Amino acid sequence: MQQKKINGSISYRHSFIDMSNQEVTLGNGDTATTCDAALGYSFAAGTTDGPGSSTFQQGTTSGNPFWDWVKDFISEPTEEQIECQAPKPILLNTGDLTHPYLWDPVTVPISVFQIGKLFILNTPCEFTTMAGRRLREAVRNVLVDAGITDAMVTIAGLTNSYVHYVTTFEEYQAQRYEAASTLYGPHTLQAYIQNFERITRDLLRGESSVTNAAPSDLSDKQVSFLPPVILDRTELFQKFGGVRKQPKGQYSPGEEVKVSFNSANPRNNQRIEDTYLTIDRLGPDGKTWTTVFVDGDWNTKYVWELASESGVSYAHITWSIPEDQESGQYRVCHYGTRKLPFEEGEALLSYVVRLFSWNGASYAAASLFQLSSLFSFSSPDVATSSEYKEFMGCSKTFNIKNVDSASTSTSDWWAVSSFKASLWK
């Protein structure tokens, strides 16, 4: 593919729009509106390459008594909503479901980025091929009207939010998976087209874009069915980050290095933009270590193992040495965060009360078993004053020797020796 250099200015426009109440102008001049969010029967059928429940089929344009009863029990759509979403038979009336928060967004973000003559349309949804073509063509026409005749227009889907699919009006009538997943009704595409035309014109004119208020921050309302981590501990006389299985003394490219550490639950710290492991190489000075691989590299693998319900766990790290890996001295290091039973300054009684209030009697009892195990069998430095504590550990140093290089050197030695011998003949 031929590369093309991009020159020109950089700019953008962003807008929040209420997708449940957009008035659109149709090709014949009539007006229509989008709808409150809803998913149709064919949504549950899945796609051809990823089918869902066999109870449902793609292309369904009518409901059945049983699933209609289930739908109405969850949230019964109004006649206005049914008519607005037609011919989609509503399976989940998500626009009316608000517990513990909205099941689908009302306010969605859209934006356009300009990089020279490249225009990127950022959408929170997946467009079908034809829907995407129509959106790009509409924006391209706006650019042509402004004198930009050679613009490149592309779509970046699933940006900043998620609102399923968008089909054309014609595709919507067939009610396959993508159409049943077009949340805001048959005129969803036209609503996106009109709003992208609007913010693109704003960008070209240097004007601000009209926007709705940003949606509510739901970070503190997220629901998780995972129980919290109560504490982490090690076996008797062991320490966090301690090596359970050391590497061999020497490896060759293509082999695997496997090291195991005493560890803690990785949910304590997801180490975003950080790492659970490093592969380090010793520098020429014999003192400085340089990281060459982390947990995001394809040739490393991190596996966490919960060895005991009382909180003992291990980290197993594997490094597949690349064929072209440079010879030298290496080590494997593990990084983690351990959870302690007490928050700072918290007494044992208040800790027990907190366990009961969070999880009930049965879970608190199990947690207290963990606590008793901690004081009976774990290292004495665990019960410190902070709730979380970082740890790390590194393996012993091992050598990587490039076999090919060694083989080549031997061959060269024999070649030189043979040449010298021939001189004496």
Per-residue three-class SS string for the chain:
CCCCCCCCCEEEEEEEEECCCCEEECCCCCEEECCCCCEEHHHHHECCCCECCCCCCCCCCCCCHHHHHHHHHHCCCCHHHHHHHCCCCEEECHHHCCCCCCCCCCEEEEEEEEECCEEEEECCCEECHHHHHHHHHHHHHHHHHCCCCCCEEEEECCCCCCCEEECCHHHHHHCCHHHHCECCCCCHHHHHHHHHHHHHHHHHHCCCCCCCCCCCCCHHHCCCCCCCCCCCECCCCCCCCCEEECCCCEECCCCEEEEEEEECCHHHCCCCCCCCEEEEEECCCCCCEEEEEECCCCCEEEEEEECCCCCEEEEEEEEECCCCCCCEEEEEEEEEEEECCCCCCCCHHHHHHHHHHHHHHHHHHHHHHHHHHHHHHCCCCCCCCCCEEEEEEECCCEEECCHHHHHHHHHHHHHHHHHHHHHCC
The binding site for Zn(2+) comprises 126, 165
CB distance 315 to 259 below 8 Å: no
- Nearest CA to 238 out of 396, 374, 397 is that of 374
Q: Which two tokens stand for residue 34?
A: 């989008």
The binding site comprises 126, 165
Measure Cα distances from 244 to 63, 329, 354, 394 in Å: 59, 20, 34, 11
Which residue do the tokens 């700072």 mark? 344
Angle at 114 between CA 112 and CA 117, to 5 degrees: 130
Which residue do the tokens 């607005």 mark? 84
Distance CA 390, CA 323 (A): 34
- Nearest CA to 188 out of 127, 111, 97, 133 is that of 127
Q: Which two tokens stand for residue 86?
A: 């037609």
